[in-house]
Amino acid sequence: MIPLAHDFTGTTVLVFGGGPVGARKARRFAREADVLVVSPVFADGDFGTAELIRAAPDPADVDDWLERAEPALVVAATDDEAVNNAVAAAARGRGILRNRADRAGDREPGSVVVPATVRDDPVIVSIATGGTAPALSKYLRQELEETLSGAGAMATLCGQLRTELKARNVDPRRRHELVTGVVNSPDVWTALRTGTSNCAQVIEDVLDAELPAGGDRQ
């Protein structure tokens, strides 16, 4: 399997099944997609901003739901294998991405797995185990949360620094050295994590050291 980052903004994600697993998937995709959850019963819990539709489609009805909703991705998260099979088959027939919550293997083209994810925007790290051990994905996600602390601020800082260096015509090789120096600086990491320094200050320090007296490098 090849991990990809997919932008679901402006699309619909259709989830079948309103149990804890359907809720978790709904929350995940509701970050950016319009999520519809179809289920006869909904678990107590957080479905994010998803729209909840009370219905219990038979396997034969599922394709009509896909036709109406025109989703970019369908999630099969019911406890009824026949319905989950119908969801996967209808999505396959329509060329729609599909995620089966009740399968670890036997994947086919167009079937996707939801990885455990740590975010410190704009940084995203995803973990999957080929379906063999989702509990391990969860464990590793929790471990990585600490490691990633400050990574979002570091990414933002590097982005701004690159823009500033380009605007000052610092040549590409030197730009790479300066940005790599910042990324590898324990002092900058500590400053970002503890809030003792901010992006603007670090950028100013780098620019002052690199371009004293305002002279641009070519």
Ligand X SMILES: C[C@@]1(CC(=O)O)c2cc3[nH]c(cc4nc(cc5[nH]c(cc(n2)[C@H]1CCC(=O)O)[C@@](C)(CC(=O)O)[C@@H]5CCC(=O)O)C(CC(=O)O)=C4CCC(=O)O)c(CCC(=O)O)c3CC(=O)O
Q: How far, in Å, CA of 210 to CA of 164, rounded?
A: 12
Burial class for 65, CB neighbours closer than 10 Å (0-12, 13-18, 19+)? buried
Would strands 73-76 and 97-100 be described as parallel, antiparallel, or unpaired? Answer: parallel
Q: Closest separation between CB of residue 70 and ligand NAI, Å?
A: 19
Residue 134 lies near ligand NAI (rule: CB under 6 A): yes
17 binds ligand NAI per the rule CB under 6 A: yes
Which CB sits closer to ligand X, 131 or 160? 131
Tell me whether residue 142 or residue 163 sits nearer to ligand X (CB atom). 142
Which stretch of DSSP H or E encloses residue 91? helix 81-94
* Angle, CA of 192, 186 and 200, to the nearest 5°: 35
Q: Is 71 in the site for ligand NAI (CB under 6 A)?
A: no
Between strands 34-39 and 97-100, the pairing is unpaired
Nearer to ligand X, 59 or 134 (CB): 134
Say which entry of ligand NAI, ligand X, none residue 39 contacts (CB below 5 to 8 A, set by partner kind).
Answer: ligand NAI
- Minimum Å distance from CB 7 to ligand X? 18
Q: Which residue is nearest to ligand NAI (CB)?
A: 19
